[in-house]
């Protein structure tokens, strides 16, 4: 009851809650129709890393990048009989991506050895998530099925 008096959550949180509800409903429907077991991804014990390699004519000027997903969501459905028809879905928001955390770059070895300044990381974020590439403002969610 007291929560009703507070300010409404920010729009991204509402979208994230809706995304989670939709994902859970989709998988609940599968489980109800086909049986089996439904498992959630433990976000605190899970890690998703994306490696982006430099390429093209300007590859010598670019950097390899490592992206980390700090708020991974997901479900796994295992059918009652075998795993051949198993299904999963992972989901995350592009605007939450961590781009080139120094500790991850250092752990990846020589291909990621060049240090990235905060300005270079900010420019990479703007370019990667902007209108010319991933269009994060228009398509904020990545869903992998």
**CATH hierarchy code of domain 12-144:** 2.40.128
Question: What are the pLDDT digits (tens) for 95-136?
Answer: 999 999 999 999 999 988 888 999 999 999 999 999 999 999
Is pLDDT above 80 for 11? no
- How far is 61 from 122, CA to CA, in rounded Å? 17
Q: Give the global pTM.
A: 0.72
pLDDT digits (tens, 9 = 90+) for 37-94: 888 889 889 999 999 988 877 677 788 999 999 999 888 888 888 778 888 889 999 9
SS3 138: coil
State residue 27's pLDDT score: 61
Question: Could you state, in order of their start, the residue ranges of all structural domains in the chain?
Answer: 12-144
Angle among Cα 99, 11, 121 to the nearest 5 degrees reads 15
Residues recorded for the chain = 145
Is residue 31 scored above 70 in pLDDT?
no
* Residue 15 confidence class, pLDDT cut points 50, 70, 90: low
Nearest to 128 by CA among 59, 66, 35: 66
């Amino acid at each position: 009851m007291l929560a009703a008096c507070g300010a409404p959550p920010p729009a991204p949180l509402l979208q994230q809650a809706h995304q989670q509800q939709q994902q859970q409903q989709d998988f609940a429907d599968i489980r109800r129709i086909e049986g089996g077991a439904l498992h959630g991804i433990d976000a605190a014990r899970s890690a998703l890393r994306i490696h982006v390699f430099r390429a093209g004519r300007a590859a010598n000027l670019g950097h390899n990048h490592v992206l980390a997903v700090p708020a991974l969501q997901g479900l796994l459905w295992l059918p009652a009989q075998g795993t051949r028809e198993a299904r999963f879905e992972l989901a995350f928001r592009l605007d939450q991506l961590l781009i080139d955390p120094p500790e991850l770059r250092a752990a990846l070895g020589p291909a990621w050895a060049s240090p990235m300044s905060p300005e270079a990381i900010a420019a990479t974020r703007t370019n990667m998530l902007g209108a010319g590439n991933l269009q994060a403002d228009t398509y904020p969610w990545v869903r992998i099925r």
